[in-house]
Amino acid sequence: MNETNAPKTVKARKFDCPSCGSSVTQKLPGKSVAVYCQKCKSLIDTSHEVMKIIDKYQNDPTVSPLIELGTHIQMENQEWEFTGYVERADQTGGSWQEYVFFNPYLGYRYLVRSADHYIWISPVPDYMFSSHDSPISSEDEYTPMVKFRGKQVFKRLTSYKAYVKFVMGELPWLARKNEENYVMEYINPPYVASVEGVQAKSKDEQKRTNDRFIEANWSLGEYKTPEEIQQAFQLKEPLHKPTTIGACEPNRYKGKWKNALLTAILSSFFLTGLCVAVPEENKEIMNSIQRIPISSMDLKKEGATDYLEFQFEAGTIELDKPKNLTISLKGIIDNQWVSINYFLMNENTREGFVFPSEISYYHGVDGGESWSEGSTSAVLRTQVLPAGTYYIIGVGATSYGLTDFKKHKAVLDVLKKGTVKPETLTPSLPSGNLDLTVTIHRDVTSQWPAVLAFFIIWSMSFYYFVRKRAFETARHGWYAMSYQSAGEDEEDEDDE
């Protein structure tokens, strides 16, 4: 009599192949339900006491597995046994291989190899996925995104039908040749969430399922590089590198884009800091406040425009080395304009430079809305001027005080002739003054090298951003093809 009802250690089970009679070993009794006979390549249903033949696979795999069945590998710090191998294809003719791995404590894992891309897949209880904050059901099969554990967002990539083409080893499900599964994939590289829908076969099942899937199995996959697989499989030869974009392959430009963006942001801070942190280089050398009485101005006319002309002496500046300058002009004007030509005379070389500057400020209310135009200040930048002492004269024109001036023109004319004593006329003189401030800075750092640097570093980041986007577009374009042909295929079926 058995000492106990259950065996003490988990052992393999041996039985005769119902097809060819040769001995078949089932390494995972109770776990695997479909076992392959190495001799006659039949797939046997071991879920009942009497073994049944599921299918006969007389062909060979189109791609041989990279390792022998029974090999133990290390993946994600755990040991796994390679127990089964499945070849699948979609309706476009594309095919891929699935390696089935088992660990007695952790259950099954799958490695998908497709066009030299590798994805390590773990089954996940389906309540961990949600869409619109409610659990996923197959009614949501066209949902644009799903959430994992209520947080991680996966975007829909593709959906297709998958067919079993070849089986080797042991499997935890009753795989059948040409068995059709509907697969939907959502990505958040390097992860892929996929759901495999099993269609109801009988009418009774269809009635019970509310729709076409009797089962929907979710899994979570992670992208692996050929190098990682070579290491896990302990292969001597390196594996081929993929030439296409993988379904959940991390975007090759994402890292570069992030780096370029970070570099751009940091260098922008640095450059801005550099421009700000050099006060020596931007020293004020003159600040001249000018109060010009209207009575000292002359009325001039150019075409139909009357204006007042004036001039002032701003003072002298010293340049010890050849330097460039900025000349700022600020005026107290209100619906008026001021135009000035600065004459800079080098007292040492007798060389002269002229720089024009203009300010105009207008505002008002038009149709109930207030508006304003122009500004009361302006800045001009000179070229590099030779060293020396410069004497600065401003010659200007303005509309400031023009009305007032015209009113008193006659008085002024008399005054200018000098025939009448000014005291007797004083109450009638135009009394306003034009107030101007002229400020000169020297050694102004040119912003151009900085602007150029800004442009270069930001265009690097822009370049990688574009490449990153193009990568995703190519990925979605590539996988959308299979999705679209899945749709067409369905229409064909409907036509029949």
Partner 1 sequence: MRESQCPSCGAPLIFKNAHSLYAVCRYCATFSVQAGDALKEVGKAAVLNEDGSPLQIGAVGYIPGVSGQTETRFEIVGRIQLDFGAGSWNEWYLDVDGQKEGMWLGEANGFYYLMQLVDTKSIKMQYMVLTDEKYKINDGLPGFSEAKLKDTIYLNNEKYYVKDIQQGTVVSGEGELPFEFHGGYDAPVIDCFSSNGKVLTIDYSEKPPMVFAGQVFEFKDLKFNKLRPVYGWSKYTNE
- In whole angstroms, the minimum distance from the beta carbon of 484 to partner 1 comes to 28
- Binding partner 1 by CB under 8 A: which of 53, 183, 214, 480? 214
Q: Which of 116, 113, 118, 191 is closest to 155 using CA atoms?
A: 191
Q: 3-class DSSP state for residue 289? A: strand
E strand residue ranges, 104-230:
107-114, 117-124, 129-131, 134-135, 145-148, 152-171, 180-188, 191-199, 213-224
Q: How far is the CB of 44 from partner 1 (least distance, A)?
A: 14
Q: Residue 274 in 3-state DSSP?
A: helix
Decide if 344 contacts 396 (C-beta within 8 A): no
> Smallest distance, Å, CB 62 to partner 1?
28
- Beta strand residue intervals within 17-103, DSSP E: 23-26, 34-36, 42-45, 52-56, 72-75, 78-90, 95-103
Residue number with CB closer to partner 1 (125 or 418): 125
Binding part of the chain for partner 1, among 180-188, 208-216, 228-236, 267-275 by CB under 8 A, reads 208-216
DSSP, residue by residue, 444-492:
PPPSHHHHHHHHHHHHHHHHHHHHHHHHHHHHHHHHHHHHHHHHHHHHH
- Note whether 385 and 309 are within 8 A (CB): no
Written as six digits, the tokens of 476 are 């979605």
* Size of the residue set binding partner 1 (CB under 8 A): 49
What is the nearest approach in angstroms of partner 1 to the Cβ of residue 134?
6
Q: Is 4 in the site for partner 1 (CB under 8 A)?
A: yes
Contact region with partner 1 (CB under 8 A), list: 101-109, 229-237, 267-275, 398-406: 101-109
Sole window of 27-35, 91-99, 265-273, 355-363 interacting with partner 1 (rule: CB under 8 A): 27-35
Beta carbon of residue 25, minimum distance to partner 1 (angstroms, whole number): 12
Query: Does the protein bind partner 1 through residue 33 (CB under 8 A)?
Result: yes
Say which DSSP state 280 is in: G
Distance CA 124, CA 121 (A): 9
For partner 1, the binding residue among 15, 20, 29, 40 (CB under 8 A) is 29
Asked whether 143 and 129 are in contact (CB, 8 A), the reply is no
Contact flag: residue 335 with partner 1 (CB under 8 A): no
- Least distance (Å) from partner 1 to the CB of residue 52? 12
Segment near partner 1 (CB under 8 A); pick from 170-178, 265-273, 315-323, 464-472: 170-178
Query: C-alpha distances in angstroms, 127 versus 106, 123, 133, 136, 438?
Result: 19, 12, 11, 8, 74
Determine, following the binding rule CB under 8 A, whether residue 13 of this chain makes contact with partner 1: yes
Bridge partners for 287 per DSSP? 439
The answer to whether residue 172 forms part of the interface with partner 1 (CB under 8 A) is: yes
Rounded Cα gap, residues 94 and 162, in angstroms: 10
Complex with partner 1: residue 170 or 249, whichever CB lies closer: 170
Q: Which is nearer to partner 1, 149 or 469 (CB)?
A: 149
Q: Is position 171 an interface residue for partner 1 (rule: CB under 8 A)?
A: no
276 counts as binding partner 1 under rule CB under 8 A: no
* Number of neighbouring beta carbons within 10 Å of residue 481: 14
423 binds partner 1 (CB under 8 A): no
Residue selected from 22, 25, 210, 426 as contacting partner 1 according to rule CB under 8 A: 210
321 binds partner 1 (CB under 8 A): no
Nearer to partner 1, 81 or 90 (CB): 81
Q: How far apart are CA 227 and CA 211, in angstroms?
A: 43
Q: Select the residue interacting with partner 1 from 50, 58, 68, 77 (CB under 8 A).
A: 77
Binders in 131-160 for partner 1, by CB under 8 A: 133-135, 137, 139
- Cα 226 to chain centroid distance, Å, stands at 27
Q: Does 15 bind partner 1 (CB under 8 A)?
A: no
Tokens 């040991």, residue located? 79
Which range of residues in 123-131, 258-266, 344-352, 442-450 is near partner 1 by CB under 8 A? 123-131
3-state secondary structure of 264: helix
Rounded Cα distance between 350 and 386, Å, is 11
The minimum distance between CB 201 and partner 1, in angstroms, equals: 13
Q: Nearest approach, Cβ of 3 to partner 1 (angstroms)?
A: 7
Tell me how far, at minimum, the Cβ of 200 lies from partner 1, in Å: 9
CA 171/CA 28 separation, integer angstroms: 9
Provide, rounded to whole angstroms, the least separation between the CB of residue 227 and partner 1.
24
> Does 236 help bind partner 1 (rule: CB under 8 A)?
no
Q: Which residues bind partner 1 (CB under 8 A)?
A: 1-13, 28-33, 47, 77, 79, 81, 103-108, 123, 125-128, 130, 133-135, 137, 139, 172-174, 207-210, 214-215
